[in-house]
Structure 1
């Protein structure tokens, strides 16, 4: 006898395994901007012009026309060429500089967040000036690199985090005009050593998204970088540095993208020139602010494992001009705003500077407004 077909109740229906749909986590994108300016080098006429009596100084008037640009980026750096050892050590100019504390106040008020202290004048007034300067930068809550007050500090990579992007900062100088730190206190200033540079960049990459290197190298007053500057820039790129801000020639040298051995791109400005000084020849009165945009994108695979991509793009520059007369009335002006009355053939000079800076880089634009 045939078996009757079995009727399954709803509860008895065969179960079919249902797989949950894979939900990919959405990518996350963060952006931040970083800027840098060149040398803050206070010759005696500059700090005398800032004197307000009673051994006190006010430099803010010199920055009025450029402060809006300095404060636009999330992080802005400066090269503190003349050390702020303070009034108690005695102010001095070339060849061994010592500057008033108040230049630090003006930089802070103008929007500076980080200063590089590694340069050929770091040891001009010895250990005491370095300790005074680092103490004052700490008081202002301005991060400094390239010089240290202790060996522990010298071994620490300094970082700042903005919009979920962590920047690390390094600074080195080719030398200190023949002056040497006290025996056992070599940590006071960072000297450029290729192996140390590579090691520090790798250390910085472990704790940050962006590695910013400050280099004090090159030949003074030469408008083109030399083979050694190229060599060091390539070493930094191969080690994985993202940005190199360089100083020392006191004149502007061109910007350039370098490709590292791993295919990474490194932005290098070989010299940002003088931002504030009393040097009185045309190209020594012209400096610049450079601005870069950083993008950090985090994507996730099917297992939720993150992968991070860093991009540096949209390089911009603001050439500047230090205007003064009879060693007084110092002002830093955006070069695009300078008139023929202030600088004969101003527009022609501005056009030449733009061409000079951008000759090896196709994506460089120039800032010609305050917003």
Structure 2
């Protein structure tokens, strides 16, 4: 008898100022993010294991959640805790937290973010509260198949880690990743590595991205999920002879933005994909990567009740059955995004 496990993965979960304002309930200090994810929640819940990249902190209530770094001018993110409960209800099981914004409110914000995720039963990896925690693997067993999940980031937007605490954030350091792969490989059937890397708004991976992926596959990584460019980058299967782990491996260099406001007036920053991977284990205990497909998505904005609203739409479903909030212009945009996404990613789109 063959066991099948489905994995869903999405890219950056960003919360800009206008998105947080859209989630505020009236003039109160309460928020609801559920409506942003309601259209795609059935796709996320349908998977056996759903993973996303949390690219904000949950650092506590503030008058101004989005700030600017005085030295660099780059945004610094924080979001109300209600986001965590909305993500859990939407179907997320695991959130990777190693990214360039994980230190946006310093060590205290990083630690508090993890406490909030724990409170909502959302597993996480990539950042850690203690050195002891950084030495523990995130392993999920689903239908008898063991998955190990690792996450690393290229940097923290020039925000330094406290002295003596390099373990707070997993950085992309090849020797460390290779040590982690070697230690984790005997404990699991499948290793998933989330990499926050690449160049923003570039639709193709750099030579260094490709080189790192080849190295990690050769040392036992099975699935690599890229994020950070804020646009989609190509995906595909790889056959790596003699490598530990699965015979057939898979990479997507960037999953794009799952939810975001438009960035630099680029439509592609509002489009992403829900990646679906099928893992099989046969009667002899052999585990393999059986298939991949994806659901192209688009962040739809509309004014409702005099207020701007955001929601992530599965494009094909809403092209076939648009609701009253979808305008003719929205349909044109969705067709354009569908064309751009499917032409770029190729493969099986749903």
In the TM superposition, residue 351 of structure 1 has moved relative to its aligned partner by: 2.3
In the TM superposition, residue 296 of structure 1 has moved relative to its aligned partner by: 1.7
In the TM superposition, residue 298 of structure 1 has moved relative to its aligned partner by: 4.8
In the TM superposition, residue 141 of structure 1 has moved relative to its aligned partner by: 1.0
CA distance in 1, matches of 2:240, 2:109: 38
Q: Is it true that 1:79 corresponds to 2:64 in the alignment?
A: no
- Cα distance per residue 1:288-326 (max 9 Å; x no partner): 110101112352xxxxxxxx4220122010110001147
Tell me what 1:320 maps to. Answer: 297
Larger deviation, residues 253-262 vs 165-174: 253-262
| Distance 1:312-1:72 versus aligned 2 partners, 3 A rule | same
Tell me what 1:114 maps to. Answer: 94
5+ residue gaps, structure 2: 69-74, 320-325
Tell me what 2:137 maps to. Answer: 157
Aligned positions, number: 327
Scaled by the length of structure 2, the TM-score of the pair is 0.89
- Cα distance per residue 1:255-281 (max 9 Å; x no partner): 022233415322001101111111242
CA distance in 2, matches of 1:265, 1:136: 36
Larger deviation, residues 117-126 vs 48-57: 48-57
Q: Is it true that 1:286 corresponds to 2:260 in the alignment?
A: no
Contact 1:43 1:93 in 2 (8 A): no
In the TM superposition, residue 230 of structure 1 has moved relative to its aligned partner by: 0.5
Q: Is it true that 1:344 corresponds to 2:332 in the alignment?
A: yes
Contact 2:65 2:79 in 1 (8 A): yes
CA distance in 1, matches of 2:337, 2:144: 40
Aligned Cα RMSD in Å?
Answer: 1.7
Q: Is it true that 1:271 corresponds to 2:254 in the alignment?
A: yes
Q: Is it true that 1:133 corresponds to 2:113 in the alignment?
A: yes
5+ residue gaps, structure 1: 1-27, 300-307, 359-363
In the TM superposition, residue 179 of structure 1 has moved relative to its aligned partner by: 1.0
| Distance 1:351-1:240 versus aligned 2 partners, 3 A rule | same
Q: Is it true that 1:59 corresponds to 2:33 in the alignment?
A: yes
Tell me what 2:323 maps to. Answer: none
Structure with greater Cα Rg: 1
CA distance in 2, matches of 1:335, 1:262: 40
Does the residue aligned with 1:344 lie in a helix, a strand or coil?
Answer: helix
Equivalent residues in 2 for 1:1-371 (5 A)?
29-52=2-25, 53-87=27-61, 91-93=65-67, 95-262=75-242, 264-279=247-262, 280-299=265-284, 308-325=285-302, 328-336=308-316, 337-338=318-319, 340-358=328-346, 364-367=347-350
- Cα distance per residue 1:84-109 (max 9 Å; x no partner): 22216962255111111111111100
CA distance in 2, matches of 1:231, 1:66: 34
CA distance in 1, matches of 2:216, 2:331: 38
Runs of 4+ in 1 over 6 A off after TM superposition: none
CA distance in 1, matches of 2:339, 2:236: 19
Scaled by the length of structure 1, the TM-score of the pair is 0.84
CA distance in 1, matches of 2:113, 2:166: 17
| Distance 1:271-1:106 versus aligned 2 partners, 3 A rule | same
Does the residue aligned with 2:211 lie in a helix, a strand or coil?
Answer: helix
Does the residue aligned with 2:80 lie in a helix, a strand or coil?
Answer: coil
| Distance 1:366-1:212 versus aligned 2 partners, 3 A rule | same
